[in-house]
Amino acid sequence: MLQIKNLHASVEDKSILKGINLEVKAGEVHAIMGPNGSGKSTLASVIAGKEEYEVTDGTILLEGEDIDELAAEERAHKGVFLSFQYPVEIPGVSVTNFIKTAINETRKSKGLEEMPAKEMLQLIREKAELLEIDRKFLSRSLNEGFSGGEKKRNEIFQMAMLEPKLAILDETDSGLDIDALRIVANGVNKLKSKDNAVIVITHYQRLLDHIVPDFVHVLYNGRIVKSGGKELAHELEEKGYDWIKEEVNA
């Protein structure tokens, strides 16, 4: 699904990613953990195609195809989805109109007709139910005045609508109370299949109790310094990151 080889990236000449290697296969869930400032969100943004980040070395392959040169929307059309840590407020555009536009633009890129209105409504209703989203919520301006939990639920709702091949959840657990966390995790789990993959970026173990990873990677100072199974997340929860830093620096 995703192969990242020796990825180096910088923003405004400041080097942030310093040689990432990562392989994610279809059907897998990978967790990326690490202390603040280690480069987790940068990695997510670089995979999604944020232009401020310059890839200085290495490659990103999606299903064997080099996506380095593709614009963010083209990556989205190929099935990359990034759930934002801080979803952007867009006053004046409703949740429904936004997702309709996103879906129809994606279909257009594949040479498909727009989705018939009835089918779209049906799909919206189905996915809103999955995320326990009220119908009134869908006519509100996108993310405007949403609580932290509503914003994250809305992100996963959009993911459910777009059915990406590769979903990257950037700190989706931050700002969520326990109920919202359960709803979001439940949504992600229902969308998981042998044909797609999920990368969960988080500080904490608690989301990983609900979305159980096959692999856990520790990102520190722009590199993956340790990889393991789900028990690594528990170890990090218990011991913090200092022992990893010491290991690396030793």
Footprint of another protein (CB under 8 A)? 48-52, 71-73, 75-77, 80-82, 84, 87-93, 97-106, 109, 114, 141, 158, 162
Residue closer to another protein, measured from CB, 8 or 107: 107
Residue closer to another protein, measured from CB, 100 or 152: 100
Q: How far is the CB of 82 from another protein (least distance, A)?
A: 5
Phi, psi of 75 (to 5 degrees): -65, -40
Q: How far is the CB of 65 from another protein (least distance, A)?
A: 17
Q: Any idea which residue has 């996915």 for tokens?
A: 127
Q: How far is the CB of 138 from another protein (least distance, A)?
A: 13
Residue closer to another protein, measured from CB, 72 or 248: 72
Residue closer to another protein, measured from CB, 167 or 207: 167
Residue closer to another protein, measured from CB, 95 or 200: 95
Q: How far is the CB of 141 from another protein (least distance, A)?
A: 8
Please state the separation of Cα 241 from the chain's center in Å. 23
Q: How far is the CB of 231 from another protein (least distance, A)?
A: 33
Q: How far apart are CA 1 and CA 85, in angstroms?
A: 23
